[in-house]
Amino acid sequence: MRRRHFLKLASTTTAFTAIGGIGWLLQSCKKDKMDMGKSVSVLEGSFDTPLPIPAIVKNPSLTAKSTTASILNGKTTRVFGYHESILGPTIKMMNGENANITFQNSLSEETNIHWHGLLIPASMDGHPENIVQAGSSFNFNFQINQRAGTYWYHPHPHGKTSHQVFMGLAGMFIVNDAEEASLNLPDNDYEIPLVIQDKRIYSDYSLNYSPTSGEVMTGYFGQYVLVNGVYAPYSNVAKRFYRMRVLNGSTARIYNLALSDSASFYVIGADGGLLNTSESVNSLLLAPGERADILVNFSNYSLGTEIYLQSNTFSNGVVQGTQSFQIMKFTVSKSETTPFTVPATLSVINPIPQTSASKTRTFDIAGMDMGSMGNMGGMGNMGSMAGMHTINGKSYDINRIDEEVTAGSTEIWVFDNSMGDEIHPMHIHGVQFQVLDRTGGRNTLIATEKGWKDTVLVMPQEKVRVIMTFPQNKGKFVLHCHNLEHEDSGMMLNFKIS
């Protein structure tokens, strides 16, 4: 939100202050922001639960259902899942293969599946208007037509995405190809998927998704950080290199991934697959929706060493980044002498020339919809908060086409948060883009931003430019903030590829 404008409006719009609307909201937002900063610290765990690895499948039957899982202290929690427990299986397919996935909605509410990062026809993408009603089913049929990468799937019904993802509906979708296979990267037991998500959990171990008005603005944070559906797990590792595919499946929390001994690790891939070359880093920011493909070298530790994957503090956040906390533990427990050298060249990413762009579109992501705020009657639930965050001053309208682009054309899109003070990971459906630059704020690109992306973190004061060529998949797609509280409260637009 633009606080300056907000204050001005609050003091001059007497009609609103008279009925308590804006005035109340201003107080409430400021208060909640302050509360959030200190009340949702991550709790330290004991790291005595083994890390579960979701089953790897091809063409599964997925059923969204209410089920149970043991996510904390061995206690039972009611969750949503795509199989018998929280989350879903890891779908793994080769480029070129046909996906044929039957989906049954056994929830008591509408849902659907969006294949985040996949370049597939609009009718298969899980647009919010393509809903699978409670008790109904849908057959997803599409060809994989893109490079190897770590993609994922989750629900996308407008206004309900955040709640359903929070309850446990998410899974990884890994695409492999021959180029990646030729690199002989660590695989099987040495390739670990890590789905990181924070959850707020009541003392009776039930999940609690109930954002206040302030939390719709900042995002909803949990005090427990789960990996693959369990809190504070550990994994026994051998003295060798591991490949880790990390997905931030949280609704709003950003992680600044690091190892507890500050050791460096190699970033080899981003949302849309491998980078040109690996980049050695000591920490890596990962926003909701983003993926990182990393190599961690455990070969130089002595047996028995415990290393934590943790999140370091970071700046630029209003209510996030002030705490460092551990996420999971690796115990070096086995000697091994498998030689591995990080490949000098991973892939070839040809930069899309800026001169090939036929159009530049700018999206102002710093704004708020004042109109709908004046209309808020009942306070504190998502429905009444519609329109809190906007894109170009607009709140999501499922029937309105906001932008029209031409299949095969190249465009530059600018996400402008230079006037903003909230964090927005911006995501575009149906396409993979390259990040051109970031001005303001951090003023630089990080390792993952040198590869293909579908989600890019735009911090307060930043303006980020991305370039992309739209595929031939014509139809209606969305772009939105992947802070799911922002998305559900309207920070989303439709665009049409014609």
Give the start-end residues of each E strand in 125-254: 137-143, 149-154, 171-176, 191-199, 224-227, 230-231, 233-238, 241-248
**Binding partner selected for residue 156 from Cu ion, ligand C2O, none, CB under the kind-specific 5 to 8 Å limit:** ligand C2O
Return the residues of window 265-324 that contact Cu ion according to CB under 5 A: none
Return the residues of window 421-450 that contact ligand C2O according to CB under 6 A: 427, 429
Q: With binding defined as CB under 5 A, does residue 481 bind Cu ion?
A: yes
Which residue's Cβ lies closest to ligand C2O? 116
Only segment of 185-193, 316-324, 441-449, 475-483 that touches ligand C2O (CB under 6 A) = 475-483
**Binding partner selected for residue 424 from ligand C2O, Cu ion, none, CB under the kind-specific 5 to 8 Å limit:** Cu ion
Cα–Cα distance measured from residue 316 to residue 310, given in angstroms and rounded to the nearest whole number: 19
Nearest to 116 by CA among 126, 108, 107: 126
Hey, what are 257's tokens?
């991934």
8-state DSSP, 394: B
Q: Smallest distance, Å, CB 356 to ligand C2O?
A: 26
Closest to ligand C2O by CB, 240 or 245: 245
Strands 492-497 and 403-405: parallel
Q: With binding defined as CB under 6 A, does residue 289 bind ligand C2O?
A: yes
Q: Smallest distance, Å, CB 429 to ligand C2O?
A: 6
Return the residues of window 101-130 that contact Cu ion according to CB under 5 A: 116
Q: With binding defined as CB under 5 A, does residue 453 bind Cu ion?
A: no
**Binding partner selected for residue 127 from Cu ion, ligand C2O, none, CB under the kind-specific 5 to 8 Å limit:** none
Contacts of 157 (CB under 8 A, 6+ apart): 110, 111, 112, 128, 131, 164
Residue 333 — left, alpha, or beta (φ > 0 → left; ψ -120 to 50 → alpha)?
alpha
Return the residues of window 386-405 that contact ligand C2O according to CB under 6 A: none
Q: With binding defined as CB under 5 A, does residue 385 bind Cu ion?
A: no
Only segment of 97-105, 232-240, 291-299, 482-490 that touches Cu ion (CB under 5 A) = 482-490
Q: Smallest distance, Å, CB 161 to ligand C2O?
A: 7
Return the residues of window 425-444 that contact Cu ion according to CB under 5 A: 429
Only segment of 172-180, 225-233, 460-468, 474-482 that touches ligand C2O (CB under 6 A) = 474-482
Cα–Cα distance measured from residue 420 to residue 418, given in angstroms and rounded to the nearest whole number: 6
Q: With binding defined as CB under 5 A, does residue 486 bind Cu ion?
A: yes
**Is there a contact between 330 and 440 (Cβ–Cβ < 8 Å)?**
no
Closest to ligand C2O by CB, 157 or 387: 157
Hey, what are 388's tokens?
């809190």
> What mask, x for binding Cu ion by CB under 5 A, covers residues 386 to 425?
--------------------------------------x-
- DSSP per-residue codes, 179-210: HHHTT----GGGEEEEEEEEE-B-TTS-B---
Q: Determine which residue in the list 83, 147, 156, 389 makes contact with ligand C2O, applying CB under 6 A.
A: 156
Q: Determine which residue in the list 83, 114, 158, 245 makes contact with ligand C2O, applying CB under 6 A.
A: 114
Closest to Cu ion by CB, 239 or 245: 245
Closest to Cu ion by CB, 266 or 363: 363
Q: With binding defined as CB under 6 A, does residue 171 bind ligand C2O?
A: no
Q: Smallest distance, Å, CB 101 to ligand C2O?
A: 17
**Binding partner selected for residue 480 from ligand C2O, Cu ion, none, CB under the kind-specific 5 to 8 Å limit:** ligand C2O
> How far are the Cα atoms of 33, 156, 353, 357, 469 from residue 360, in angstroms, in the given order?
35, 27, 13, 7, 12
Count Cα atoms within 13 angstroms, Cβ side, for 12.
7
- The number of residues that bind ligand C2O (CB under 6 A) is 10
Cα–Cα distance measured from residue 400 to residue 384, given in angstroms and rounded to the nearest whole number: 21
**Is there a contact between 35 and 48 (Cβ–Cβ < 8 Å)?**
no
Contacts of 460 (CB under 8 A, 6+ apart): 316, 318, 417, 420, 421, 422, 423, 441
**Binding partner selected for residue 486 from Cu ion, ligand C2O, none, CB under the kind-specific 5 to 8 Å limit:** Cu ion
Closest to Cu ion by CB, 5 or 78: 5
**Binding partner selected for residue 154 from ligand C2O, Cu ion, none, CB under the kind-specific 5 to 8 Å limit:** ligand C2O
CA dihedral 450, 452, 455, 457 (to 10 degrees): 0
Return the residues of window 120-139 that contact ligand C2O according to CB under 6 A: none
Cα–Cα distance measured from residue 242 to residue 247, given in angstroms and rounded to the nearest whole number: 16
- The number of residues that bind Cu ion (CB under 5 A) is 6
Q: With binding defined as CB under 5 A, does residue 483 bind Cu ion?
A: yes
Q: Smallest distance, Å, CB 269 to ligand C2O?
A: 18
Return the residues of window 177-216 that contact ligand C2O according to CB under 6 A: none
Closest to Cu ion by CB, 71 or 246: 246
Cα–Cα distance measured from residue 498 to residue 492, given in angstroms and rounded to the nearest whole number: 20
Q: Position 497: which residue type? A: I
Backbone φ and ψ of 86, nearest 5°: -65, 155
Closest to ligand C2O by CB, 156 or 394: 156
> How far are the Cα atoms of 40, 214, 254, 325 from residue 322, in angstroms, in the given order?
11, 18, 11, 10
Residues in contact with Cu ion by CB under 5 A are: 116, 424, 429, 481, 483, 486
Residues in contact with ligand C2O by CB under 6 A are: 114, 116, 154, 156, 289, 427, 429, 478, 480, 482
